[in-house]
Amino acid sequence: MGVRAFIFPGQGSQEVGMGRDLYEAYSSVRALYARAGELLGFDLARLSFDGPAEELRQTRVTQPALFVHSTALQGLLRRRGVKPAMAAGHSLGEFTAFAAAGALSFAEGLRLVSSRAEAMTAAAALQPGAMAAIIGLDQAALEKLCAQLSTGERVTVANINSDQQLVVSGSKAGVDEVVKAASAAGARRALPLPVSGAFHSPLMEPARQKLAHALAGAPFRAPRVPVYCNSDAQPVRNPDEIRRALERQLVSPVRWSEQVRRMIADGADEFIEIGAGSVLSGLVKRIDPAVRVRTVSSLQDVLEFA
């Protein structure tokens, strides 16, 4: 057996119906969703399973829904003896990774995720922003374009997903200018993303301050396995370092390609994406085609682990 890494998706991977098959098959999953509804004050199961999609896309719903779905899946995998040697998550998925590694209980993790989602929503309302995916332009060239904005607006590289898949974040006017400039500079694709704010940019500073308060009061423990962080691609196991990493993540780039390479350098040769969609699996394959990748997003996927 190789060295297995669990990876967890973030906002944008959600889809109406996710988790319904698990809910119908296992009483433990039904209990998880019932507990989530109590903690959140709304029926997360109904919104996850039946939508509408517009409501599921709201940050305050999306982030808890993804967290609970991924948590349910990884719990079922563990019952089948499938365990990781390390873990990581993309943006919101980093919270799921820490909870899966035992640094937080389910309830503590969900409270933090809900606090984060509310803080990000409020920050986006206070300082509206935008994000855009830039495909086929390297990081140095894109950073140069961001630095040369004629509008005077601030735009930063927010996600370094692979060498050729990047995301920028900032003001609407600034992001629009970068999209046009990137297309003119030879990017294969440059398209705005359907998000409500400038996530992972300095415009999230008000959210960082609110989240810092919530993190300070959360009872973190040392995780059972190292979790590799978005903001610096380094593994952390100390509770105070975890708090700092999760706080910093809100206003810093997600260095996903660096994380994956660091995990491979530390021995990972099998990545299991646990949650809705298969975005991270595709990224890992592009970062290093030699590693094994599996996606676990449904009951059938869980049952295929003998």
Catalytic residues: 91, 200
DSSP H helical segments within the chain, as ranges?
20-25, 27-40, 44-50, 53-56, 59-79, 92-100, 106-126, 139-147, 172-184, 205-216, 239-249, 256-265, 279-287, 299-303
DSSP H or E stretch at residue 134 = strand 130-135
In angstroms, rounded to a whole number, what is the distance separating the alpha carbons of residues 13 and 85? 24
Residues 6 or more apart whose CB falls under 8 angstroms from that of 291 comprise 264, 268, 269, 270, 271, 284, 285
Q: Which of 170, 184, 161, 163 is nearest to 132 (CA)?
A: 170
In angstroms, rounded to a whole number, what is the distance separating the alpha carbons of residues 90 and 143? 21
In angstroms, rounded to a whole number, what is the distance separating the alpha carbons of residues 169 and 248? 16
Is the CB of residue 117 less than 8 Å from the CB of residue 38?
A: no
* Biggest CA-to-CA distance, the chain: 57
In angstroms, rounded to a whole number, what is the distance separating the alpha carbons of residues 227 and 103? 10
Q: Which residues pair with 167 in a beta bridge?
A: 133, 159
In angstroms, rounded to a whole number, what is the distance separating the alpha carbons of residues 276 and 19? 9
Residues 6 or more apart whose CB falls under 8 angstroms from that of 115 comprise 210, 211, 214
DSSP H helical segments within 250-305, as ranges?
256-265, 279-287, 299-303
